[in-house]
Structure formats: C-alpha cells, structure tokens
C-alpha cells in the first residue's frame, strides 16, 4: 500500500516491460520482494523511508544483509555508492535467476 501510494503520487517510478504497459514498482513473493525505482538520490531516499515506515508499522524488519541493489551498467560508480549508502544495502552482481526468471536483462545492441 505504501509503495502504491508513492507511485500514485509520482514519488516513485517503476519499470515498464513495454510502452503501453503499466509501471511496476514492486513484485511480492512469499517472504521476498523485488522493488523497482529510478536510480537517483530522491527515489532512493523515498524508498528507504517507505521501508522504515513499513518496519515501524508492521514490527517486521527488512533484512538488509540479505538484500542487494542492481544497477544498469550505465550507472556512474559515484551514484551507485551514494544510493547504496542511502539504502544501507550493498550492490549486488548478476544474481542469476529468481523463481525461474533472470534478475538482469541484457539490452539489444
């Protein structure tokens, strides 16, 4: 609900799998979540605030040690470091597959 409200208020941007598709900001699985947003300081700060509010309201804790951030290969290193610091989550490498789906996609050249 918090993620949906932030998306509706245009505080978070999701991804689209094609031009006419709706934006996706999150995919939720049993006890896992995949979150999508623009890789910038503003959206990272908003997403971190949402996670903190979720922890406060639910009494559950997000396990940051088991979390990873994946960036586009085009992302500058300095921005990657700053966003990881804001989120308190390390940058991950290509994690292979999750639930049978690739965690990263290669763009066409």
- Inter-residue contact 102 to 96 (CB < 8 Å): yes
- Inter-residue contact 70 to 103 (CB < 8 Å): yes
**pTM of the predicted structure, to 2 decimals:** 0.80
Q: Rounded distance, CA 58 to CA 55, Å? A: 5
Q: Mean pLDDT in the chain?
A: 87
pLDDT, tens digit, 9 for 90 and up, residues 53-101? 999 999 999 998 889 998 888 899 999 999 999 999 999 876 667 667 6
DSSP letter assigned to residue 64: G
């Amino acid at each position: 609900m918090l993620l949906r409200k932030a998306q509706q208020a245009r505080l978070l941007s999701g991804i689209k799998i094609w031009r006419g598709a709706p934006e996706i900001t999150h995919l939720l699985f049993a006890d896992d979540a995949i979150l999508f947003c623009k890789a910038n300081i503003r959206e990272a700060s908003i997403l971190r605030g949402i996670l903190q509010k979720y922890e406060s309201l639910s009494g559950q804790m997000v396990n940051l040690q088991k979390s990873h951030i994946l960036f586009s290969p085009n992302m500058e290193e300095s921005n990657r470091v700053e966003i990881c610091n804001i989120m308190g989550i390390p940058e991950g490498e290509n994690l292979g597959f999750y639930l049978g789906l690739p965690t990263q996609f290669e763009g066409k050249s």
